[in-house]
Amino acid sequence: MTDFSTQQWQAWGLMALLGFSAASALLASTSAIMAAAPAEKAAAAGAIETMAYELGAGLGIAIFGLLLSRSFSASIRLPVGLEAQEIARASSSMGEAVQLANSLPPTLGQAILDAARHAFIWSHSVALSSAGSMLLLLAVGMWFSLAKAQRR
């Protein structure tokens, strides 16, 4: 698990690798779509490809945002001594946990910050692992799909 606050270079490297990989996949898919479309339908194919990209981006933000939020709330382990309202507030988001920690005595506030930091890192690991697994499954599916198409 990469802690972005202490392993900046590793985080930068992994994010750059992710960016180059995603850009390569998008360029390859756009090229394949446009090459397969007849010249008279190229504009329609481009519009459909763009719409599919936007729909995928929107769904990805919604789904992975929900996954991040839910896994943060489920994984935060707050110290004892908090009221139910404070527990609900700190469990709702990293920002709320930081605000609550700043309003409490330093020892209790630091314990909340540590718990929130751990939950934040964990929730990002869950979301990124899920996204990576989905991409791997899609790549395997495309591999077999293209292999079957070439045999015909």
- Summarised one tens digit per residue, pLDDT across range 62-110 is 999 999 999 999 999 999 989 999 999 999 999 999 999 999 999 999 9
Question: Residue 110: what pLDDT?
Answer: 96
Give a yes or no: residue 2 inside a domain. Answer: no
pTM of this structure: 0.73
Q: Is pLDDT larger for residue 94 or for residue 1?
A: 94
Give a yes or no: residue 30 inside a domain. Answer: yes
d(C-alpha 52, C-alpha 45), whole Å:
10
Looking at the 3D structure of the chain, how many domains does it have? 1
Measured N-to-C along each axis, helices 94-102 and 106-151 cross at an angle, to the nearest 10 degrees, of 170
Give a yes or no: residue 23 inside a domain. Answer: yes
Task: Name the residue among 74, 110, 111, 115 with its Cα closest to residue 92.
Answer: 74
Give a yes or no: residue 1 inside a domain. Answer: no
Give a yes or no: residue 47 inside a domain. Answer: yes
Both structure tokens of 68: 């991040």
d(C-alpha 51, C-alpha 1), whole Å:
34
Cβ contacts of 130 within 8 Å, gap of 6 or more: 64, 67
Determine the structural domain holding residue 51 and report its residue range.
8-151
Give a yes or no: residue 82 inside a domain. Answer: yes
d(C-alpha 20, C-alpha 41), whole Å:
30
Per-residue model confidence as pLDDT tens digits over 16-73:
998 898 888 888 888 888 888 899 999 999 999 999 999 999 999 999 999 999 999 9
